[in-house]
Structure 1
Amino acid sequence: MESGFVELSFVKLTTDQAIARAVSLAASGTRHLVGITGEPGAGKSTLSARIRGVLGDRAAVVPMDGFHLAQTRLEELGRADRKGAPDTFDAWGFVALARRLAEAAEPITYAPEYRRDLHNGVAGAIAVPRDVPLVIVEGNYLLVDEEPWNLLPGLLTETWFIDVDEDVRMQRLVSRHEQFGKPHDAAVAWAGGPDERNATLIRSTRSRADAVVRV
């Protein structure tokens, strides 16, 4: 392996160790995709942002949330009341983008970004130039053993599962829902309802991760 890069087997990492691992991957001389997964509110975006802050232009963050089906489409399908479940995403589109990012054959690969204020994704919002060595692919269902999600591990160099105290996770989740317009009671109900059903599925995928990051 180049530049001392060593493949992981299942290990536990602290946040600092995970960041050091990301720096090592970025220095390895080739494109690597690191998947960061975990339950809603676990801190996926926070860890991704910290890594990006350390690596700067040598890293890009591509969240799965950009592949939410449009709000109007969810309403047509009768799925708006459980937005965030696996079948409320363009999963095949997400896999196709991950494949393009792994191949790094294009000068720039563009990814969508989810805008919570719009309740929709915005196409072409994230630019990933070909020479960016580390792409962090962030999302809930990276390790789900159902098609097409089960195609993702073959495209990712490794996948990390974030482990966090349950009380902290729920507090973050409720606060996030409140921040984007839900009254407190509605925020608590959503966190304990649709979000928790999704979290149960995500927890069942933990053993498939290459590493668990304790935050």
Structure 2
Amino acid sequence: MRLDEGEALAAARDLAARPGLALLGIAGQPGAGKSTLAERVVAAVPGAVLVGMDGFHLAHATLTALGRVDRKGAPDTFDALGYVALLRRIRGLDGLDHPEVVWAPHFDRGIEDAIAGAVAVAADVPLVVTEGNYLLVDEPPWRDVVGLLDACWYVDLDEDVRRTRLQARHERYGRTREEARARTWGSDERNAALVSASRSRATAVIDGK
């Protein structure tokens, strides 16, 4: 199923209208527009909350110590098990008494690090939107994510447009033009290939903008 943005927002409202909490995933390649769509969904659905997968980046200092900082954004630079555990907790599947508020981390691009306990997910939230590259990847532990979601969309964007935007974003956050291009066509492109291979697991494909 392919949806434009208007249809996607209507589908999100339908999810939120169901009894209880709904979990909507938004996946896609780096630079495809996942964050933008997720923010628009949250703005369109009263009471919705955004919980990004990027909040589970390993700390920058940890990646430096592990020798992975140049590959930041690759699957092994995240606490994937922690992310799955948070989704299970939001679902109330962790075997614990469900608290009034579940606290989630937020990734701050300004400091290139995650901030713990930055996002409050109250028990009465109608819709939690979670976005990230690897939500649909069929490899452990990522493959457990999709089973915790009510729906998971894949954002599709023209490859040339996506890469141009991605390079510009890298430059905006302090990389030189050469560094940004190397990152876009290097580790980001390898990550993009992995994400693209997971597209068939999506419940809908959304036209990126």
TM bin (shorter chain): over 0.9
Distance across 1 between alignment mates of 2:114 and 2:27: 19
- 1:44 is matched with 34
Distance across 2 between alignment mates of 1:39 and 1:68: 16
- 1:102 is matched with 91
Aligned with 1:78 (options 27, 48, 67)? 67
The percent of aligned pairs where both chains have the same amino acid is 51
SS in 1 for 2:3: strand
Distance across 1 between alignment mates of 2:112 and 2:44: 30
TM-score (norm 1): 0.92
Offset of 1:32 from its aligned partner? 0.7
- 2:9 is matched with 19
Equivalent position amino acid for 2:5 in 1 = T
- The answer for unaligned runs of 5 or more in structure 2 is none
Map residues 90-129 of structure 1 onto 2, 5 A cutoff. Answer: 90-103=79-92, 105-129=98-122
- 1:6 is matched with none
TM-score (norm 2): 0.95
Equivalent position amino acid for 2:172 in 1 = Q
**RMSD (Å) for aligned C-alpha atoms:** 1.1
The answer as to 2:171 corresponding to 1:182 is no
Distance across 1 between alignment mates of 2:99 and 2:158: 40
Count of aligned positions: 204
Equivalent position amino acid for 2:9 in 1 = I
- 1:145 is matched with 138
Per-residue deviation, residues 109-165 of structure 1 (Å, max 9, x unmatched): 111011112111000111111111100111110111111111111111111000111
Distance across 1 between alignment mates of 2:84 and 2:40: 25
- The answer for unaligned runs of 5 or more in structure 1 is 1-10
Runs of 4+ more than 6 Å apart: none
- 2:129 is matched with 136
Aligned with 2:18 (options 25, 28, 38)? 28
